[in-house]
Structure 1
């Protein structure tokens, strides 16, 4: 039996190629119906309607009040599909919104309560829509660590943030990339200050607010007012948060977990790289499983492992060699990798 760490993706992972993902993969129709009943009660389109649409709509499927529920359900469905006779799960983390999914996967909230949290926070962020995000890499195509480049980019961020009426901050430390959040003046200034790369960076993230910054304080306050402390319980599995802190089963203050989830997790920078580093060093899993939807988080996981010098990896070629010899990363959004760990694929 292989040991595995679970990594839950965040916003921006349910896109055109993921349309129909729940219909193809979600293993519990009764649970999905409960999710849809909650959305219907709020006057929102059901996940079944969204996922079963004949055409993907950027305007509809990526907005926070829809994307959060779709991504949470896809992640949880994949988690429930893992063959526990072949895979022993030792810890769970997530990227950004994936923290809400990680809570449910680890048992710190029920599946239904986790959906309530994800759907509520996604809706609140969409309704407020404060600021935006832009993403920019600090490693090259070889994925080799370049701390000097990162330092230079952070200096640009600090200089822009010091200007009157400009807000810019690190939202997510995402492997070899920085996700920055700010107001329009701050984001535009950064886009003008850096060199265009690969024909797509700096890249604005559509329908994304200034997540993980102090600009989200009003949203965090609304979330605390709407989401009861009773939703949280002791986790069954260790949880690694966006600071790299471990929440161990049977030792968690559920009030503290709620305070973090609806406080610092919303308003402070999210260090995904640190979370993956802690996963690797503290739990040494045989396998890192990235649940769906999407496949984009796999690169950030690999880059984070390289930055941690895990198994002596120093760049992309090292990672590819390790992966080819004995896979250490499995993305459930890729059918061939999903088949190696899902119950349906292994029987």
Structure 2
């Protein structure tokens, strides 16, 4: 949608969706008045951002990438001291929002596989373009009202190509990694002379598979030092189901985790998805498949006759449906309290 203009006055802010960029950017639900289109508007508060190059890099890179599973930027502009970016409204929010609000114990396997296919399509594209994402996690995978998953969070990305040459490994460590630590590969975290490459993103994909299946990412709540130690020594996270949760001789859970529910203990994920997660989380990058190779995995044949993702995500309701019946009232900012009651502000929208 290239007809969105760069006049801030043409965007009527409805409510805040969330924050990103370590609280230095605000994402809002807005209406582009001339086209009567609902969009997401991200405002970078430049007075709070020390390194303006990070904002420049993200905007420039996003305008260069063109793929159906990568969040597009419709337009960007400067108004006063702030920079604004306009993108489509991703009505289901992020996958982390879905886990937090509706699926605390994880998504069903079919939903995971559909999201995973879209994520790998996007990842295959950017790897072939010569970039490593370095921030693959559920909060950076947004879902549209039609059930299409889109990758975002490109401010952490880095090029693989240097001076026109494709590098086998790189040694650039992202300046801000606190939010992404649990998802990062062991070789990236080690920061040693061996470096890392695009296979580090594949490790993060494995972490996201576990995150979507279990309801939270592996190593959640663990100290950073212990998490790194576990990764370096080859600890492989697993999907929690009947085959991986230990039981005693009476059939009761003996894992010592009182928070593991009966639903998790009794469910069963397929061998295919267990295998893919294990391949992605291999300690040695050389043995991890590429995104292109993973897309050929037999796992994706299982969703050929699957229900649409929108059906699999019920009872979650897309934001666009929640406001559609009251479009005329959106013009009146008095409806702000109505949107607040819908708990729009609980969304992560960290992109």
Question: Which has the bigger relative contact order, CA under 8 A and spacing at least 6?
Answer: 1
TM-score normalised by length of structure 1 = 0.30
Normalised TM-score (structure 2)? 0.30
